[in-house]
Amino acid sequence: MSSKIKSVVFIIGLLFILPNLISQNQAREVSNHSITAFYVFGDSYVDPGNNNYIGSIAKSNFAPYGIDFVNQKATGRFSDGKVIADFLASYLGFENYVPYLDPDFTIQAKPAVGFASAGTGFDNRTAAVLNVIPMSMQLEYFKEYKAKLASTIGQEEADNQTTSAVFIVNCAVNDFAINYYGLGNVVGHPDGTTIEQYEEFVLQLLQEFVQGLVELGARRIAVSGVPLFGCWPNVITLYSSDPVNPLVTRNCNETLNSVGSDYNAKVQEALNTMQSSLANQGLKVAYFDTYTPMLNILQNPANYGKLQNPGTQVLTSSISYFLFVCLFVGFDVINKGCCGTGLLEQAVLCNPHSAICSDRSKYEFFDSVHLTEAASSVIAGANIAAINYITN
């Protein structure tokens, strides 16, 4: 069946399901009114720019980062435009997703606040490599924020806002890519810790972090595993034993992808256990999957591409949204970044002097690690069911 015929069949099929989609979207809008805030913790895939305000080289507050953001502004997001959390914030009805450390940040009604820091991990040693904000400190920042909130609107209202807020935790990949393996090292950790032992260690830190959020009143939490980091362009370049692969073949590192898959399975099992044990406290926790959407892109790049923002405005118009999805153009480049050579550049190596691709929507990666806005929209869209679960 030709692609044109498939598109026609798909469009016809939509005519039968659109009424149901519209009713679901209307329900989505109603439930948004009960969501009081949006809080995000983690690494560069969700950092709105906190690293701008700390002494670290892990920054992206300069061109060409932000070339597709509002006013072509480089905000500190590691992307040409929006990151995953921006799309989720929009979907939940929030206008702006802002970094907590921004000096202009003020306590406000219905906030969408990011505590995330590019380059961080659950393991404090990971954050120390690039001198960024460890997850333990991000939790402390949230405690500080909640104290400020209580002094502004009262303790009871602050507690109510926390209970009805949505929390996203997206972290751990740097613990493996930066810390355990280190740059180019795929043989093991210097202290003799096996990868299985390190996975359990990181998992324990993740559980402690989520428990910390629960103790502070969080009840709607989505937690990620790790992305398909064996397919990061810089990993393909540096983590290969085949001298031809880095420049020519450019196949993913399946050893690292296997580590990611194993760890993600453990995360899902741990979240299921936590959900069962804390359901009586009103906890709703969901797994946020970054690995599978990236695997889908790898296996069928032409079937994925730049989607409209899966936010309130789009979802209120089911016809325009789903016809757009049907007619989008897929990714062309999935093993190199858009910036520079696409093989190694990121952060300061992707800078105003770097050449960039003309059409970022055709690329999965903007630099050698971080997603384009187009790819982030795909991952956000693939996890809407998880967000709906914890909010309904």
Lowest-confidence segment of 31-35, 196-200, 387-391 by average pLDDT? 31-35
Radius of gyration (Cα) for the chain, nearest Å? 20
Band the pLDDT of 192: cuts 50, 70, 90.
Answer: confident
Which residues, 6+ apart, have CB-to-CB distance to 110 below 8 Å? 36, 37, 93, 94
Tens digit of pLDDT for each residue in 310-344? Answer: 443 333 333 333 333 334 568 999 999 999 999 99
Handedness of CA 89, 94, 100, 103 (dihedral sign): positive
385 found inside a domain? yes
Report the share of the chain in percent with pLDDT over 90. Answer: 80
Q: Which of 54, 187, 74, 195 is nearest to 131 (CA)?
A: 54
182 found inside a domain? yes
Q: What is the pLDDT of residue 190?
A: 74
CA distance 213 to 219: 8
To the nearest whole number, what is the mean pLDDT of the chain?
87
Identify whether 60 is a catalytic site residue.
Answer: no
149 found inside a domain? yes
Concatenate the DSSP letters of all residues of 95-147 into one string: S--EETT-TT----SS-EEE---TT--SSHHHHHHHT---HHHHHHHHHHHHH
Which CATH number characterizes residue 215's domain? 3.40.50
Which residue of the set 47, 175, 289, 367 is catalytic? 367
- Helical (H) or strand (E) element with 16: helix 3-32
CA distance 387 to 166: 8
Tens digit of pLDDT for each residue in 206-215? Answer: 999 999 999 9
Which residues, 6+ apart, have CB-to-CB distance to 355 below 8 Å? 339, 340
Identify whether 44 is a catalytic site residue.
Answer: yes
Q: 8-47 as b/e, with b when 16 or more CB fall inside 10 Å?
A: eeeeeebeeeeeeeeeebeebeeeeeebbbbbbbbbbbbb
Q: What is the pLDDT of residue 241?
A: 84
- Helical (H) or strand (E) element with 205: helix 195-215
240 found inside a domain? no
Tens digit of pLDDT for each residue in 264-274? Answer: 999 999 999 99
238 found inside a domain? no
Tens digit of pLDDT for each residue in 364-381? Answer: 999 999 999 999 999 999
337 is written with which tokens?
A: 């970044």
Identify whether 367 is a catalytic site residue.
Answer: yes
Classify residue 156 as exposed, middle or buried by CB count within 10 Å of its CB (0-12, 13-18, 19+).
exposed
Tens digit of pLDDT for each residue in 77-109? Answer: 999 999 999 999 999 999 999 999 999 999 887
314 found inside a domain? no
Q: Are 231 and 261 in contact (CB under 8 A)?
A: no
- Full residue range of the structural domain in which residue 196 is found: 31-230+252-291+376-391
201 is written with which tokens?
A: 């260690």
328 found inside a domain? no
Band the pLDDT of 185: cuts 50, 70, 90.
Answer: low
26 is written with which tokens?
A: 């209307």
More confident residue, 130 or 10: 130
Tens digit of pLDDT for each residue in 279-295? Answer: 999 999 999 999 999 99
Give the pTM. 0.88
Which residue of the set 56, 68, 224, 370 is catalytic? 370
How many folded domains does the chain comprise? 1
Res 28 pLDDT > 80: no
23 found inside a domain? no
Which residue of the set 43, 44, 56, 376 is catalytic? 44
